[in-house]
């Protein structure tokens, strides 16, 4: 059978295995990361980008296939290590991105829009309308910052510090990821603070009116007042909200860079 295989295709199987291994880490990161992991991004596009990012990293870090092959205990451990590194890097960026969703849900509840929801394009799940709006804003800010290019650079740098088949990622980067995940709600509340605090004051005014005029229909007056105040406050605080989202995205990228450093 070997005599029937042309000489030019003799190393094709090994080359295909190398391509497959090179795609694992970026592919896992893109599944968890924002923008790349959106359901609207075709799977074929993710595979092509993962191969384009993984091949230079594979060449920079140096790698040889296990002697027993990829389908072996050594190969399975290598694949699990690659998936863990990729998911940790992508999830760190996703945590920074999700602060916008938390802020949107907080502002929606304060405005009385908690009952309204729409499909978020980044998660394909139902979220409050303002959460979807801030998610789209976060996507545009992520792309304007060059976050997609920074993520690719972080993945390439990770091949030097965490080579394929080398020691598994230590416990300290995972501990940093867990601590950063605990800051998600704090970051979301900080983004929503300018609008949310003012809306709480509006609610207090409505409560005092209800006490002074018991016949006043709060559902007919309070909801439009909170909604109008929220729209005006969102327009006024838009630059501050954008700055908060940018800081959260930068913190996510910084955490991913620390994880890539091993």
Max mean pLDDT among 6-10, 146-150, 185-189, 198-202 falls in 146-150
Nearest CA among 146, 230, 226 for reference residue 195: 230
pTM equals: 0.80
Domain ranges of the chain: 15-260
Which residue is it, tokens 């990829």?
Answer: 70
Kindly report, residue by residue over 30-59, the tens digit of the pLDDT.
Answer: 988 888 888 788 888 888 888 888 888 877
- Report the run of H or E that residue 257 belongs to, with start and end: helix 218-260
pLDDT in tens, 156-182: 888 888 888 777 777 788 888 888 888
Among the listed residues 184, 179, 15, 166, the one whose alpha carbon sits nearest the alpha carbon of residue 85: 166
Residue 148 contacts residue 36 (beta carbons within 8 Å): yes
């Amino acid at each position: 059978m070997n005599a029937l295989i042309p000489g030019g295709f003799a190393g094709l199987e090994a080359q295909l295995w190398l391509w497959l291994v090179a795609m694992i880490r970026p592919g896992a990161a893109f599944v968890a990361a924002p923008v790349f992991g959106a359901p609207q991004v075709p799977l074929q596009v993710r595979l092509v980008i993962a191969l384009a990012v993984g091949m230079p990293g594979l060449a920079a870090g140096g790698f040889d296939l296990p002697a027993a092959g990829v389908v072996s205990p050594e190969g399975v451990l290598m694949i699990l290590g690659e998936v863990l590194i990729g998911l940790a890097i992508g999830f760190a960026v996703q945590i920074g991105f999700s602060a916008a969703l938390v802020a949107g849900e907080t502002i929606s509840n304060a405005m009385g829009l908690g009952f309204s929801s729409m499909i978020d394009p980044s998660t394909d799940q139902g979220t409050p309308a303002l959460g979807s709006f801030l998610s789209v804003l976060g996507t545009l800010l992520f792309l304007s910052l060059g976050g997609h290019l920074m993520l690719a650079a972080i993945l390439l740098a990770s091949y030097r510090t965490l080579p394929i088949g080398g020691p598994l990622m230590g416990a300290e980067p995972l501990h940093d990821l867990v601590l950063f995940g605990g800051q998600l709600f704090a970051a979301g509340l900080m983004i929503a603070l300018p609008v949310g605090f003012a809306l709480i004051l509006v609610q207090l005014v409505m409560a005092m009116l209800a006490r002074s005029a018991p016949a006043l229909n709060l559902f007919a007056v309070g909801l439009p007042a909170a909604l109008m105040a929220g729209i005006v406050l969102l327009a006024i605080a838009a630059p501050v909200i954008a700055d908060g989202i940018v800081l959260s995205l930068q913190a996510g990228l910084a955490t991913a860079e620390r994880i890539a450093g091993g």
